[in-house]
Structure 1
């Protein structure tokens, strides 16, 4: 049996979010890292600052780690939103907005030195990214179920 899939007109929003949105968010999250490299004297190619070598290692590493977290999950997120968006394009497009705003707020919390590092990433709204993540995951599972059970 062949399953046919029609790409909805609103899928363009998913493509914009996954393609252009991911690059814009990456640039926004990379800005504080590059600024901190100069201010805290952590030159490239060092990904992280070394405690005992770099004076402000913890401060820099919190900034770098917040950006790295985004990069670690991005490929899975984009794959899920592109797939799930075939069946639920508006949900995935809106979820993408939540994901990127959440990633930026996650960084703001993680950078805040007045907060405990374990909770900092979620204190300023970083949990919003999980709304977008699970929206895309649900949409992808729904698409898979529809394809598997199609008659």
Structure 2
């Protein structure tokens, strides 16, 4: 059975993880600003479709809210692959994590324009995620050898 050895370079992986968590936090703050501008009260998660179609600020709020939720939905998958893959490949996992994070920044800023099709510009994030998936698989394979 393989053993787990955490190298000094794993700090890069943890730094990438921390940067990703901070980015999620910043998206939450952004949603709050959009919510205030659109005057969408709590506890409503979104403005109604008819309201958003009439009011551009409500549409922008809905886009900001959705992009935040989408990032939250993917974070557990991404972070698991980052943390596992980084055990064996700390630098490559960190690079792939940064690529993923940059892709998510582009995705998010495109979505928040109010035109959700612009989110596709950040699709390159999935290259980072697929790389992390491969590194995680390899790490797990070597651990059970």
* TM norm. shorter chain > 0.5: yes
Q: Aligned pair count?
A: 142
| 2:71 is aligned with 1:70 | yes
Which runs of 5 or more residues in structure 1 are unaligned? Answer: none
Higher mean displacement: 22-31 or 80-89: 22-31
Give the match for residue 29 of structure 2: 31
Task: Give TM-score, length-normalised by structure 1.
Answer: 0.84
Detail structure 1 runs of 4+ shifted over 6 Å in the superposition: none
2:135 matched residue in structure 1:
139
Return the offset for 1:87. Answer: 0.7
Q: Quick one: distance in 1 between partners of 2:137 and 2:2?
A: 16
Q: TM (normalized to structure 2)?
A: 0.87
Structure with higher helix content: 2
1:16 is displaced (CA, Å) by 1.8
CA distance in 2, matches of 1:27, 1:107: 13
| Structure 1, 82-91 or 98-107: larger mean CA deviation | 98-107
User: Equivalent residue of 2:103, what SS?
Assistant: helix
Q: Report deviation, 1:45.
A: 2.0
Q: CA deviation at 1:107?
A: 1.1
**Does 1:45 pair with 2:43?**
yes
For structure 2, the 5+ residue unaligned runs are none
Answering whether residue 125 of structure 2 is matched by residue 129 of structure 1, we say yes
Query: In the aligned structure 1, how far is the partner of 2:135 from the partner of 2:141?
Result: 10
CA RMSD of superposed structures (Å):
1.8
2:82 aligns with: 81
Task: For residues 46-86 of structure 1, give each alpha carbon's deviation from its aligned partner in whole angstroms, at most 9, with x where no partner exists.
Answer: 21112235653433211111111100010111111101100
